[in-house]
Structure 1
Amino acid sequence: MSQENSCCRVCSRGLYSCHWREPSENKRKHACCWFSVVTLASLLSLCWMYICLVAFNDREDVNWQGFTKLKRWVNWFMVLIIVSAVITSYCVLLLLFALFQVALKEPLDLHWLHKILVFFGVMFITFGVVGISLQWKQEWPTVPLSLQATGPFLQFGAVGALTLLSPLVFRSFYVAETAWSRAVIALAFVAVSAAIFLCPLAIQSPCLLSELPVKPELIGHRGAPMLAPENTMMSFNSSIACGVTAFETDVQISKDKIPFLMHDNHSEFLSRTTNVKEKLPDKLSSSSYNITWEELQTLNAGEWFLKTDPFHSVSQLPEDERKAAGNQTIPSLRELLDLAQEHNISVMFDLYSSNQKDDTNHTVSTILGSGINPRLILWLPPAEREAVISTAPGFIQVYNKDTDRLKKGDHLNVKYSNLSTKRISELRQKNVSVNLWVVNERWLFSLLWCAGASSVTTNSCHLLKEMDRPDWVMAPLTYRIAWIVVDVLSFLIMTGLFIWQRRTHVLCPRRGTETQRNNTPAWSDKELSPFLTTG
């Protein structure tokens, strides 16, 4: 087999250009431009995939938004993850084949089908970014927050990638025909290298510490919704086994003034988590004020969990637990208070109503009538706070906004992305209790643990309870030594490669492939120089 028809060449050439038998004789004027497009598409897809993985913590928000608009519960976020992973894998593989083409001095003749697919991939990512910016912009702060957890390791990976790609840059430097081209290549490479080598100076992570704070307590978000249907007694009982210190739930008021547990509060608020369509179709679009407690008790609040499997956890449940999950009903607030009092667990809840005053009065009356210790009630609704303090001074008041008026002993409950890790540490130093919601992933829990959060509201209490330490903790001095050693090793390796490339270019200049030596050039040094300069 000739050199130009070796297995490696044929596979690389065929997969990139669809020229399986012999190299293309055509000179494509825009080969370098398309290589740049593939490179940018690969970087863009990797960044998009990173955003999707970071946002995985909040996947329930996406699915819930999809349900409210389409009235159909589908794991939309998992569909997004799968499509994004396919696009990312395709773009990265295409870039690798392009680099193989360069290393083998084969023509960069990108096939038209690849061009179309890359275009659609970029359009999909563009629509995704625009969609987040318009419909889910509160998710963007999660990205810089995540870099505090991944930044040190991304820098190590960037140093490794720079070292691996440096031979191509050095070769482009030596084959460049003008001093101006060499200067551009040298300056660009030095600038990129300096940015990567020195970026740890700007990396700030709460996990770069010497003394680890106490592990945050766990608050069950609507119970333990990965183990049982949300806002059911089975769910709250399951969260007790996780060691939660508080239940988080949502309270609404029925027509006959009975407070009950239900999160959804829009039109058709019962359709996602109950069988109201089959059981009470005439009540489908009713508000909670139009449905009696007796009617609510006829609804099944567990079958949806088995059918939709919102967290892909049903298959992990024993048969008896699956059967119990399918027979759940809507619980009253009084049932939850009795359970909380029995196990000495706090209760925190939201009130969803256009009539906050009446709902507050009925809810407070139910709580006071239950006999529960008032110090177990974490009062979150802000609308009638002064009246509640007057009526039930024993309740612990929890605030949902960070203000300068917070003082020692106060309790704050906010979305995790609304507070910086630095601000969390400042509040904890003032002895303000800080609870962050909703925290499901290990990396996020680890980061907030390092920052000193008091507690987190979570869907995955059974997973977080198993963590004895954050995923990583490193003393600042240890990290500085590590990144300096990695940078120095990379610099020495690249210096050696630069010298080797110089000797190779001077002592044994490249003459090309067999085709090129027969005066039918597939890729001459003259053609290679502008491509590598662009790349």
Structure 2
Amino acid sequence: MASTLSRLQLGQTRGLRAKLLRRYEHQPLVSCLAGLYGCRWRRYERSCAQPGDCCCNKVSQNPPLDTSGSGSVHLYESCGGVKLIKKSGVCVCVSVRRCLITGAYLAVLFALYLVPLGLYSPCIKEKRTLGPAPALIGHRGAPMLAPENTLMSFEKAVEAGSKGLETDVTISFDGVPFLMHDRTLRRTTNVHEVFPNRTDALAAMFTWAELESLNAGAWFLSHNPFGTTGSLGAEERRQAANQSVCSLQAFLQLAAQTDKLVIFDLYRPPRGHPYRDTWIQRTLEVIQNESSIQSSQVRPATDLRDLVQEIDPELQQTSGSRLPLEELQSNNIVKLNLHYSSMSAELIRSLEYEAVNITTNLYVISQPWLYSLAWCSGVHSVTTNSPQLLSIMSSPMFLMSPDEYNLMWILTDLLSLMLIVIIFVFHRLKKKKNLSSISTLNKVKM
């Protein structure tokens, strides 16, 4: 009676195990991953759920009868030295699936080994061919260290070693050009406190007296846009909290005193604005008559190049798109100001531009690795949020000669191959040991 009960419990246990294994019946990816990462191809082998299914059952010299209640018996035969499983009249080669998975694994592995041969990086070059580091242009100043487009921000950019300063210019309602990137004052000022009913009004519709009454720095400390305010000292925090909207005249005076290049986008005022049609003339008037900066230091970005050229021929024109070389020259464009995604295209055409003294500037590059790629590509300057970080780089990251690059990948591939072989050999020996133990146990039972 006890023996019968024991057999029933054993049958229930095996039946439960068979159900659990059948959960993976339609998940070949599970078996594949188990083999790829552990070389344990037998881990998810299981019996067929239905006649005609592709079976992979564990092979042993003396397979037990199925006591799960299904009434089926698994018979093991040999066909040319290959183990076969027969169930419900269907005979399947156990090693076929393993061979297919192993072949796919080796094919993927071989492809991965060849991938480095197809990779390209501008930093794979001889060190002697590396050009000078791209000049740094502070994007709205140094916005990681001070509120953007404020006088403090541009002073920090100058201290960090920037060769140029970039900003955005808007015209106030009474004709004073000032620095503001956004169309409204909501993000970078306390307009919601001073003029609660005009929070969403366009910045150009405020007079200069109204703009001067706003605080343009407290938001930087409260919002901490780059997570860098913690690095500021007590005096720097006090200074940042008291910044105001910066006029174009004050900005140009700083650039003139420090001999910095100036790049700016000029926004046309909205309809109904008194300077809607004379915004270019008013901005150039400030450059020529209200500041001591040289016209050759200024690079305005606007589509009305003919008008700018007519008013001030010495101004250096900037283009935000890659125009034909002839058009660039005819419009007196001396700098291309492009997004950093244009880096590869600029690398191809850099020699063509350099031949006619047209330089390239990429924006906005603030990470050392991206700056390294621009450096290796031969870009002349970059607009950055972090001049304090990029200015201390003495050489590009990842710079290596083609021979060093090939040696690195060959050694890596060989080490990887050795590790894979060791893992396979280890599991093979472990498998033989397990089969030997099973054979010895069966002999003892007999």
Normalising by structure 1, we get a TM-score of 0.62
Counterparts in 2 of 1:472 and 1:429: CA distance versus 1, 3 Å: farther
Q: Which has the higher contact order (CA 8 A, sep 6+)?
A: 1
The answer to whether the Cα contact below 8 Å between 1:254 and 1:291 also exists between their aligned partners in 2 is yes
Matches of 1:498 and 1:100, distance apart in 2: 9
In structure 1, the partner of 2:195 is 280
Matches of 1:452 and 1:33, distance apart in 2: 54
In structure 2, the partner of 1:415 is 339
The answer to whether the Cα contact below 8 Å between 1:283 and 1:291 also exists between their aligned partners in 2 is no
Counterpart amino acid of residue 290 in structure 1 = M
Determine whether 1:464 maps to 2:390.
yes
Q: Quick check: 346-355 or 387-396, which moved more?
A: 346-355
The answer to whether the Cα contact below 8 Å between 2:343 and 2:377 also exists between their aligned partners in 1 is no
Determine whether 1:188 maps to 2:104.
yes
Counterpart amino acid of residue 462 in structure 1 = Q
Determine whether 1:450 maps to 2:376.
yes
Matches of 1:226 and 1:207, distance apart in 2: 28
Matches of 2:101 and 2:30, distance apart in 1: 19
In the TM superposition, 1:428-507 aligns within 5 A as: 428=351, 430-431=353-354, 432-506=358-432
Matches of 2:41 and 2:244, distance apart in 1: 65
Counterparts in 2 of 1:485 and 1:99: CA distance versus 1, 3 Å: closer
In structure 2, the partner of 1:225 is 143
Shift of 1:364: 1.0
Shift of 1:321: 0.5
In structure 2, the partner of 1:209 is 125
The answer to whether the Cα contact below 8 Å between 2:365 and 2:385 also exists between their aligned partners in 1 is yes
Determine whether 1:27 maps to 2:15.
no
The answer to whether the Cα contact below 8 Å between 1:422 and 1:451 also exists between their aligned partners in 2 is no
In structure 1, the partner of 2:313 is 393
Matches of 1:221 and 1:371, distance apart in 2: 22
Counterparts in 2 of 1:374 and 1:489: CA distance versus 1, 3 Å: same
The answer to whether the Cα contact below 8 Å between 1:252 and 1:260 also exists between their aligned partners in 2 is yes
Matches of 1:500 and 1:290, distance apart in 2: 77
Shift of 1:194: 1.3
Shift of 1:220: 0.4
Deviations 1:448-507 (A, max 9, x none): 111111111011111111111112211011111221222233334433444454444345
Determine whether 1:378 maps to 2:299.
yes
Matches of 1:99 and 1:488, distance apart in 2: 19
Determine whether 1:427 maps to 2:350.
yes
Structure 1 gap ranges (5+):
1-23, 41-94, 109-175, 513-535
Normalising by structure 2, we get a TM-score of 0.74
Matches of 2:31 and 2:242, distance apart in 1: 53
The answer to whether the Cα contact below 8 Å between 2:170 and 2:269 also exists between their aligned partners in 1 is no
Counterparts in 2 of 1:107 and 1:389: CA distance versus 1, 3 Å: same
- The partner residue of 2:225 within 300, 303, 310 is 310
Matches of 1:107 and 1:308, distance apart in 2: 57
Determine whether 1:290 maps to 2:205.
yes
Matches of 1:262 and 1:511, distance apart in 2: 79
Matches of 1:205 and 1:216, distance apart in 2: 17
Counterparts in 2 of 1:103 and 1:233: CA distance versus 1, 3 Å: farther
Matches of 2:256 and 2:31, distance apart in 1: 61
Matches of 2:45 and 2:93, distance apart in 1: 20
Determine whether 1:300 maps to 2:215.
yes
Matches of 2:285 and 2:141, distance apart in 1: 23
Q: Which has the larger radius of gyration?
A: 2
Shift of 1:426: 2.8
- The partner residue of 1:367 within 284, 287, 294 is 287
> Secondary structure of the equivalent of 1:306?
helix
Shift of 1:362: 1.2
In structure 2, the partner of 1:533 is none
Counterpart amino acid of residue 277 in structure 1 = H
Matches of 1:388 and 1:38, distance apart in 2: 69
The answer to whether the Cα contact below 8 Å between 2:170 and 2:266 also exists between their aligned partners in 1 is yes
Counterparts in 2 of 1:387 and 1:178: CA distance versus 1, 3 Å: same
The answer to whether the Cα contact below 8 Å between 1:218 and 1:243 also exists between their aligned partners in 2 is yes
The answer to whether the Cα contact below 8 Å between 2:337 and 2:361 also exists between their aligned partners in 1 is yes
The answer to whether the Cα contact below 8 Å between 1:409 and 1:433 also exists between their aligned partners in 2 is no
Counterparts in 2 of 1:292 and 1:421: CA distance versus 1, 3 Å: same
Shift of 1:101: 13
Shift of 1:212: 1.9
The answer to whether the Cα contact below 8 Å between 1:379 and 1:397 also exists between their aligned partners in 2 is yes
In structure 1, the partner of 2:162 is 244
> Secondary structure of the equivalent of 1:223?
coil
The answer to whether the Cα contact below 8 Å between 2:360 and 2:380 also exists between their aligned partners in 1 is yes
Counterparts in 2 of 1:508 and 1:302: CA distance versus 1, 3 Å: same
Counterpart amino acid of residue 182 in structure 2 = D
Say what the alpha-carbon RMSD is for the aligned residues: 3.2
Counterparts in 2 of 1:477 and 1:456: CA distance versus 1, 3 Å: same
Q: Which has the higher strand share?
A: 2
Counterparts in 2 of 1:37 and 1:177: CA distance versus 1, 3 Å: closer
Matches of 2:416 and 2:202, distance apart in 1: 64
The answer to whether the Cα contact below 8 Å between 1:428 and 1:453 also exists between their aligned partners in 2 is no
Shift of 1:99: 6.7
Q: Quick check: 220-229 or 406-415, which moved more?
A: 406-415
Shift of 1:323: 0.4
Matches of 2:425 and 2:204, distance apart in 1: 80
Shift of 1:36: 4.3
Deviations 1:24-71 (A, max 9, x none): 85515334767948999xxxxxxxxxxxxxxxxxxxxxxxxxxxxxxx
Q: Which has the higher helix share?
A: 1
Matches of 1:35 and 1:424, distance apart in 2: 46
The answer to whether the Cα contact below 8 Å between 1:425 and 1:451 also exists between their aligned partners in 2 is no
In structure 2, the partner of 1:147 is none
Counterpart amino acid of residue 424 in structure 1 = L
The answer to whether the Cα contact below 8 Å between 2:317 and 2:333 also exists between their aligned partners in 1 is no
The answer to whether the Cα contact below 8 Å between 1:414 and 1:436 also exists between their aligned partners in 2 is yes
The answer to whether the Cα contact below 8 Å between 1:225 and 1:459 also exists between their aligned partners in 2 is yes
Counterparts in 2 of 1:460 and 1:182: CA distance versus 1, 3 Å: same
Counterparts in 2 of 1:345 and 1:511: CA distance versus 1, 3 Å: farther
Counterpart amino acid of residue 416 in structure 1 = Y
